[in-house]
Amino acid sequence: MKLLVEILILPPFNLLLLAAVGLILLRWRKRTGVIAISVAVFVLYVFSAPVTSALLSHSVRSNDYHPVLPGDASLAEAIVILGAGQYVNAPEYYGDTIRGTALERVRYGAFLHNQTGLPILVTGGDPNHSGSTEAEVMRAVLETEFGVAVLWSEDASDNTRESARNSWAILQRGALEAIYLVTHSDHMPRAVSAFAAVGFQVTPAPTIFPRPPSIGWLDFIPRAGAMSGSANAIKEWIGRGWYAIRN
């Protein structure tokens, strides 16, 4: 259901749907049909332009969160790494694993562990019912590929709020409340809010910072990667709005 909602409300599907409706309307309401198609094509171009993608990606990053630097003071007692999907039935790995966003978070979590020596909790369920949980494959990659032990796995959550609640329940068994929270810089504001709300003392440990927006002629030429970046930023703003409503 979650995946279906994302498909319906995020570009490009909603814009293609609008264009299709416009084509149908051309037969009976030509003016309305032309307007619908024109709006769909224009908005599709805007979201596909790198300049738009860069502006949207930069907008979801808060200036309150910076990279963790060597020697930074923190009372953190553990590292929590948030899941971000799976690479299901990867033929080259003989099964499920992670890639992309999830791999970036795991890599930084391993790096932070090597810098601090703090124990790791990985969190993420199986929201798309693919078979393995995000926590399960993250743990496997950390232990077999990075050589980093994972002390706790939380594999029942389907979103950031549930990850916060379930991680709190696990770490409270050891009376641990102060954590480094590892996620992407654009997701960090929402993640910090969710984890702080359940009682954690959060030290943000963001990774992957969007590049500053640039304005050159190439930044106005549509690209597939730019559409993906725009959709991710829109998804994050929608998520923040939803969390704000539910608070």
Question: Are both 36 and 103 inside the same structural domain?
Answer: no
Is there a single domain that holds both residue 104 and residue 186?
Answer: yes
Based on the domain organization, do 162 and 185 belong to the same domain?
yes
Residue 236 and residue 187: Cα distance in Å, rounded? 7
Of the two residues 144 and 67, the one the predictor is more confident about is 144
Give the tens place of pLDDT for each residue, 25-43.
988 888 898 999 999 999 9
Find all residues with CB under 8 Å of 227, minimum gap 6, and list them: 11, 12, 47, 48, 53
Same domain, 126 and 225: no
Asked if residue 7 and residue 102 are part of one domain, the reply reads: no
Shared domain check, 235 and 159: no
- 180-184, 196-200, 226-230: which has the minimum mean pLDDT? 226-230
Is residue 33 domain-resident?
A: yes
Domain extent at residue 175: 78-207
Same-domain status, 202 and 227 = no
The answer to whether residue 242 is domain-embedded is yes
The verdict on residue 212 lying in a domain is no
Across 217-246, average pLDDT: 81
Q: What is the pTM of this model?
A: 0.82
pLDDT at 109 over 60: yes
What is the residue type of 233?
A
| 2 band by pLDDT with thresholds 50, 70 and 90 | low
Whole-number percent of the chain with pLDDT over 70: 95
Count of the separate structural domains present in the chain:
2
Whether 66 is covered by a domain: the verdict is no
Give the list of residues 6+ apart from residue 194 with CB closer than 8 angstroms, or none: 160, 161, 163, 164, 243
- The answer as to whether 68 is a domain residue is no
Q: Are residues 139 and 195 in the same domain?
A: yes
- Judgement on whether residues 234 and 140 belong to the same structural domain of the protein: no
Beta strand ranges found along the chain (DSSP E): 78-82, 87-90, 95-97, 120-123, 152-154, 178-184, 201-207
Average pLDDT over residues 73-84: 90
Sign of CA dihedral 145, 188, 70, 113: negative
- Clarify whether residues 94 and 199 are in a common domain: yes
pLDDT at 226: 85
| Residue 67 in domain | no
73-93: buried (b, 16+ CB within 10 Å) or exposed (e) per residue? eeebbbbbbbbbbbbeeeeee
Within this chain, do residues 48 and 111 fall inside the same structural domain, yes or no? no
d(C-alpha 125, C-alpha 81), whole Å: 13
13 vs 63, more confident = 13
